[in-house]
Amino acid sequence: MTPTTETMVGIGGAAESTDMVLNIGPQHPSTHGVLRLKLVLDGERIRHAEPVIGYMHRGAEKLFEARDYRQIIMLANRHDWLSAFSNELGVVLAVERMLGMEVPERAVWLRTLLAELNRVLNHLMFLGSYPLELGGITPIFYAFREREELQHVMEEISGGRMHYMFNRVGGLKEDLPAGWTTRARTAVADVRSRMDRFDDLVLGNEIFRGRTRDVGVLTPEAVHAYGVSGPIGRASGVDFDLRRDEPYLAYGDLQDTLKVVTRQEGDCLARFECLLEQTHNALDLADACLDRLAELPPGPVNQRLPKVLKAPEGHTYAWTENPLGINGYYLVSKGEKTPYRLKLRSASYNNIQALTELLPGTLVADMVAILGSMFFVVGDIDK
């Protein structure tokens, strides 16, 4: 191989290579809300990247200490506003574990169904918004159409479009409206029948594939080092999903339907493919839950609670496979009606730290493609 020689031609100080510090955000349209990236550039290539977080921090963990076990659900469902039901779920599971409480079987299957519908709603937003960040406007319209189908049934059962507040310690707020399962089954079938548009419009688009293939490769070692989880971690070949590996709710009975989607490439395209295939599987899981609910006899969906609910003294840890990754809830009680401490481990917080590993060495033009493929919510980072 013939050795090559690099020659830098310039005049005066321009001949010297100088670093430039560039701030992306916190109002830049390419970032998901108020996230700031501090980049050190050498020409158009990124040498160093530092995510600067905290612009949406509202101190939820401290507020948990001043609210009782019913009220903290309202605080918990807002940090990842695309996964509100799943956020509530982790808190009530931790409190129920502390109380040693058994939840009615009907509530267990309903929670599993609604968690999977919430997973589809979350993923559809990213399936539509990620191509939008790369210049493809059409998929977002299809994504919102499919979201509306599912939002209707979620709104009917809970009364909320984003912050459902349907979980309760001991079960759910109330039983299903008459005919709701039929309408939910129809909505799931309608969404599934049109999901191939994302394959045709996005995965079949050579520009999209050119912008994402072999871009932003995240190694399995980096996934483990930064605690990356969810579709992003599985796109790098890390085969871990709490629904299969440490089942909760009804997932232990859904192993034949549950499919843990993985890829080996670890690039932006692999992350998108994992998200899309996982959406298909969430719809299958929702159908399986509806089938099981149809077999169950009528019964309660919650437990009767005392007027003042106090958890016994002690501590516990509950974790769930949220749409964006692993959420953990470390609850400490002193026997009072409020938590002594409730530490929240959110998926986006860990996932976004991997940008310090991903961005150096890449071009500024690829930064948006990498940033969008991390599928994060800023409120989930800042809590």
Q: 192-228, pLDDT tens digit by residue?
A: 999 998 888 898 889 999 999 999 999 999 999 999 9
* HEC letters along 44-95: CEEEEEEEECCCCCCCHHHHHCCCCCCCHHHHHCCCCCCCHHHHHHHHHHHH
pLDDT at 27: 61
Return the pLDDT at 228: 95
User: Tokens at residue 11, please?
Assistant: 């005049």
Residues 13-31 have a mean pLDDT of 63
Q: Are 218 and 354 in contact (CB under 8 A)?
A: yes
Q: What is the mean pLDDT of the chain?
A: 90
Domains, the chain, in order of start with CATH, read 20-52 (no CATH), 102-305+354-376 (1.10.645.10)
pLDDT value of position 4: 57
- What integer is the mean pLDDT of 314-325? 95
Is residue 121 exposed (0-12), middle (13-18) or buried (19+ Cβ within 10 Å)? Answer: buried
The model's pLDDT over 87-135, given as tens digits with 9 standing for 90+, comes to 999 999 999 999 999 999 999 999 999 999 999 999 999 999 999 989 8
Residue 5: per-residue pLDDT: 55
* Cα-only R_g, the chain: 22
Question: Is 7 a residue whose pLDDT tops 60?
Answer: no
Element (H, E) at 314: strand 314-322
> Average pLDDT, stretch 133-162?
92
| Residue 96 CB neighbour total at 10 angstroms | 20
Alpha helices in the chain (DSSP H): 60-64, 72-76, 84-99, 105-133, 138-158, 180-194, 196-198, 206-212, 220-226, 230-234, 242-245, 268-295, 347-353, 355-358, 364-372, 378-382
In Å, what is the CA distance from 212 to each residue of 28, 131, 215, 371? 21, 10, 5, 11
What's this model's pTM, rounded to 2 decimal places?
0.90
Structural tokens at position 87: 């956020």
Per-residue pLDDT tens digits for 25-81: 776 444 555 788 899 998 889 999 999 888 888 888 999 999 999 999 988 888 888
CB neighbours of residue 129 within 10 Å: 16
CA 251, 256, 262: angle at the middle one, nearest 5? 85
Read off the tokens for 4: 């090559």
Range 242-254 burial, b when 16+ CB lie within 10 A, else e: bbbeebbbbbebb
pLDDT on residue 369:
92
Give the dihedral sign, CA 208/209/210/213: positive
**Residue 13 pLDDT:** 46
With 90 as the cut, is the pLDDT of residue 378 above it? no
Label residue 162 by pLDDT band (50, 70, 90).
confident
pLDDT tier at 2 (50, 70, 90 boundaries)?
A: low
Of the chain, the percentage scoring pLDDT greater than 70 comes to 93
* 342-355: average pLDDT: 92
Examine the pLDDT at 10 and tell me if it is beyond 90: no
**pLDDT for position 161:** 86
Q: Quick: pLDDT tens for 253-282.
A: 999 999 999 999 999 999 999 999 999 999
Contacts of 101 (CB under 8 A, 6+ apart): 169, 170, 303
Q: Is the bond preceding residue 131 a cis peptide, omega within 30 degrees? A: no
Residue 18 has what pLDDT?
67
Of the chain, the percentage scoring pLDDT greater than 90 comes to 74
pLDDT at residue 244 greater than cutoff 90: yes
Kindly state the tokens that stand for 21.
């510090």
* Vertex 186: Cα angle to 182 and 187 (nearest 5): 115
For residues 8, 358, 81, 172, the Cα torsion angle rounded to the nearest 10 degrees is 180
Query: What's the average model confidence in pLDDT over 139-146?
Result: 94
pLDDT at 77: 87
